Amino acid sequence: MKGSGNIDRNPATLKQTAFDRVRAMILRGEVRPGEPLRERELSDKLGLSRTPLREALNKLEIEGLVENQPHRGYTVTVVDLKTAGELLDLRMLLDAHAAALAADSITEKGIAELDAVMRRLAAFEAHEHLSLDDLAEEVRTGMRIHEIIVRETGQRFLIDTLNALYGRLSLLIWVDVLWIDRWDLTRAEHKEIVAAVTARDGKRAARAAKLHVQRSRDDLQRVVDAQSLLHGTHRPLAEGRR
């Protein structure tokens, strides 16, 4: 049989669509950290066979979004608070580096894209009350800034590494909370970063990017401290099934 629900019209290749769709499912939170990813189930759901799906899962494993134990299957990676701190430390380093590079080499097209994103963000800012969905949308839009800046560096390895980093961080349920925490500051920081990059001021861009992440990191630290107080010791976010 050709596949029951053969919907895709233009599948560059099935393993690519499998990779993209599973990745999106994870990043959108449709499958939660710690949950198992059963091959048959997923391949049925996506309307393709196990082979391209497994190739996608293998790639996602290297990217760190899923973990695999031989003969036991795949699960969505669980990011604990300690790991999150490490990831944010690295992001501080690499985001600053990327911002400086982007400031030096950003194209007119990139600047236009940043302008467009900033206009969209301004629309959110104008409203008094935002629904949770609106907030989620603003968060996603805000991430676009970082994605554009990273892309504009034009450095493949850096792009791949930071995308993997962002992906891992988005597995943290907590970040939503962190970002909402001081949303006004986040908005101001985003403006400063974009201003510095579009002004092609590398030093300033690096400083702004570093501060931006540093605050997230400090916010996280407060959460960790609060957790310690509550539970006596810090605990992972989800129950890791042995």
Kindly state the helix (H) or strand (E) to which residue 66 belongs, with its residue range: strand 66-69
Q: Which residues bind DNA (CB under 7 A)?
A: 1, 3, 11, 13-15, 36-40, 48-52, 54-55, 68, 70-74
**Least distance to DNA, CB of residue 16, Å:** 7
72 vs 164: CA distance, rounded Å: 24
SS3 76: strand
Site string for a copy of itself, 130-169 (x = CB under 8 A): -------------------------xxxx-xx--xx--x-
One residue of 35, 39, 44, 63 binding a copy of itself per CB under 8 A? 63
Neighbouring residues of 90: CB distance < 8 A, sequence distance ≥ 6: 165
Do residues 118 and 194 make contact, with C-beta atoms less than 8 angstroms apart?
A: yes
**CB nearer to a copy of itself: pick between 97 and 190:** 97
The option from a copy of itself, DNA, none interacting with 52 (CB < 5 to 8 A, set by class) reads: DNA
**CB nearer to DNA: pick between 3 and 240:** 3
118 binds a copy of itself (CB under 8 A): no
**CB nearer to a copy of itself: pick between 54 and 144:** 54
61 binds a copy of itself (CB under 8 A): yes
**Least distance to a copy of itself, CB of residue 90, Å:** 6
**CB nearer to a copy of itself: pick between 168 and 190:** 168
User: What string of H, E and C letters represents the secondary structure of the chain?
Assistant: CCCCCCCCCCCCCHHHHHHHHHHHHHHCCCCCCCCEECHHHHHHHHCCCHHHHHHHHHHHHHHCCEEEECCCEEEECCCCHHHHHHHHHHHHHHHHHHHHHHHHHCCHHHHHHHHHHHHHHHHHHHCCCCCHHHHHHHHHHHHHHHHHHHHHHCCHHHHHHHHHHHHHHCCCCHHHHHHHHCHHHHHHHHHHHHHHHHCCCHHHHHHHHHHHHHHHHHHHHHHHHHHHHHHCCCCCCCCCCC
**Least distance to a copy of itself, CB of residue 64, Å:** 7
83 binds a copy of itself (CB under 8 A): yes
Q: Which of residues 166-205 bind a copy of itself (CB under 8 A)?
A: 168
One residue of 6, 51, 107, 228 binding a copy of itself per CB under 8 A? 51
**Least distance to DNA, CB of residue 34, Å:** 14
The residues of the shown chain that bind a copy of itself, judged by CB under 8 A, are 12-13, 15-16, 51, 54-55, 58-59, 61-64, 70-71, 83, 86-87, 89-90, 93-94, 97, 155-158, 160-161, 164-165, 168
